Structure 1
């Protein structure tokens, strides 16, 4: 049995993010009831390494891929692939929000920028190197909703964040056998380092259910 906190989760740490424009035929499957946002036959895909630390409700590492989608006319973010090194995060992500988290082992080096790798028992998922550049003044807020499939229905969840932002240069490597194999086929359009972020993930629930839940990981 694995326990995890009820939503919303308050998280803090560092994120290293790259964005691509990908041909529609190469986009991963998104949540039922949503469609990728496309321009000239391409969709927006992001991949990120996230290090949850400091005042986070859980401390763990994460590698994810997400697609910009629309729910009707409303823009959403759909997380299509995601790995973590915390059983509690995996169970909570699946049960609360329909986020398809899997477990992986991470190798993180923050000596200069970021050097990161993640692997499962079957695959080396990806490696990446980020070299942070110029800091953009201020702390930047961002609010959006994540759209996932939960119990056969569309589930949207709010995300509110604030962070400092740096431009970055990034180099990604993923084998063709990896679920993230297409990341090596083209250079990122844009890469950023979101430092010392604070995130509120999820929506408030009624007081009677605000207790830790326990589940058996799938």
Structure 2
């Protein structure tokens, strides 16, 4: 499968919610040997996001991902233990270039992974920017990748449905601590070679 070379310049929108989850329930096979989940009182912070990458991006597709903050080589990074996309090119590029364990999925009504409904929202002023690193381990290989994202952020209300028997069953019945939407999102992922 062919996919664009890095960096990928993406644009679109997303909804992201933060959950507090007991550390013992959070997958960690994706962590490099030098990384550890950041925890507080035995709990990890787990972010779940649904992203739509729109025309103007290197690839157009949708993805559902789980991300956790980690301490890796003395710096805070993000690690992605679970992620699904509806694009073979995205799956292959993510796995091969960045060690991100992307799997194929179909989204929409009847999804066995997750569903989200978003309501309301209070827009925060200005354009928000976040930059940092991902730290991944896949197929015995540790990979660290630079990323930068910006967009117009709103605090929103979200309701997630995670089927108990699905891959995100450890989130079933949990209420988000906070949820955000981001419109006019710009994401650069990866480095120039």
TM bracket, shorter-chain basis: over 0.9
Task: Output one character per residue of 1:44-89: Cα deviation in whole Å (capped at 9) or x when no partner.
Answer: 1000000000311100000011111111321111111111110100
Deviation at 1:118, TM superposition (A): 6.9
Q: Does 1:100 align with 2:108?
A: no
- Map of 2:183 onto structure 1: 195
Residue ranges of structure 1 left out of the alignment (5+ in a row) = 108-116, 206-218
Q: Distance in 1 between matches of 2:141 and 2:25?
A: 25
Q: Does 1:157 align with 2:145?
A: yes
Q: Does 1:174 align with 2:175?
A: no
Question: Which runs of structure 2 are paired with 1:44-63 in the superposition (5 Å)?
Answer: 44-63=45-64
Residue ranges of structure 2 left out of the alignment (5+ in a row) = none
Question: Which runs of structure 2 are paired with 1:133-148 in the superposition (5 Å)?
Answer: 133-148=121-136
TM-score normalised by the chain length of structure 1: 0.84
Q: Distance in 1 between matches of 2:82 and 2:110?
A: 13
- Map of 1:31 onto structure 2: 31
Q: How big is the alpha-carbon RMSD for the aligned residues of Structure 1 and Structure 2?
A: 1.3
- Between Structure 1 and Structure 2, which shows a larger proportion of strand residues? 1
TM-score normalised by the chain length of structure 2: 0.95
Task: Output one character per residue of 1:109-146: Cα deviation in whole Å (capped at 9) or x when no partner.
Answer: xxxxxxxx573xxxx01111111411001000110101
SS in 2 for 1:137: coil
Runs of 4+ off more than 4 Å: none
Deviation at 1:21, TM superposition (A): 1.4
